[in-house]
Amino acid sequence: MRGRAIRLLIADDHPATLQGLVDIFDRAPGVQVVGSAGDGVDAVRLAAHWQPDVVLMDLSMPNMDGVEAVQLIRGFSPRTRFLLFSGLPDKIRNRAERRAGTGPVLPKETLPSVLIERVVALGRASEPVL
């Protein structure tokens, strides 16, 4: 990590999963959780406020799915990077990858260490080159 902590927004509609992810990333060096959202609408609202470096977003959420939220956030925060994850089957995740243009949609079974590595890598990619 070169400078400041990576600002992370986490969005998931399952309260236990959301809290677990917040707890994991609160302990991750170089990462600052700036917000957590229970649906896509809240994710967009919080992203507009915080302008996070990375958004860890559940694909399937009420009120607005992860793909739609990504598209809206990109409109006002082009430097923000996205990591989508889902408990949905591979076929659905693959279609979402193409729609979102974010790279792989990870399964929810992904190890916390892998999520942290991906968030840090994306956060570094969002830093301006000096």
Q: Give residue 56's pLDDT.
A: 96
Angle between helical axes of 15-26 and 112-125 (0-180°, round to 10) = 70
Q: Is 24 inside a domain boundary?
A: yes
CATH number at residue 88: 3.40.50.2300
Q: Give residue 4's pLDDT.
A: 86
Q: Give residue 59's pLDDT.
A: 87
Q: Is 83 inside a domain boundary?
A: yes
Q: Which pLDDT band, with edges at 50, 70 and 90, does 106 fall under?
A: confident
Q: Give residue 108's pLDDT.
A: 87
Residues near 48 by beta carbon (within 8 Å), at least 6 away in sequence: 73, 76, 77
3-state DSSP assignment of residue 5: coil
Task: Give the side-chain half-sphere CA count within 13 A for 102.
Answer: 35
3-state DSSP assignment of residue 77: coil
Domain that holds residue 21: 6-125
pLDDT reading at 88 higher than 70: no
- The predicted model scores a pTM of 0.88
3-state DSSP assignment of residue 54: strand
pLDDT reading at 128 higher than 60: no
> ∠ CA 30-34-37 to the nearest 5 degrees?
130
Residue 41, both tokens: 């609408």
The count of structural domains within the chain is 1
Q: Give residue 130's pLDDT.
A: 45
Q: Give residue 126's pLDDT.
A: 64
Q: Is 32 inside a domain boundary?
A: yes
Q: Name the E strands within 38-126.
A: 54-58, 81-86, 106-107
More confident residue, 104 or 108: 108
Tens digit of pLDDT for each residue in 10-62? 999 999 999 999 999 999 999 999 999 999 999 999 999 999 999 999 988 89
Q: Is 1 inside a domain boundary?
A: no
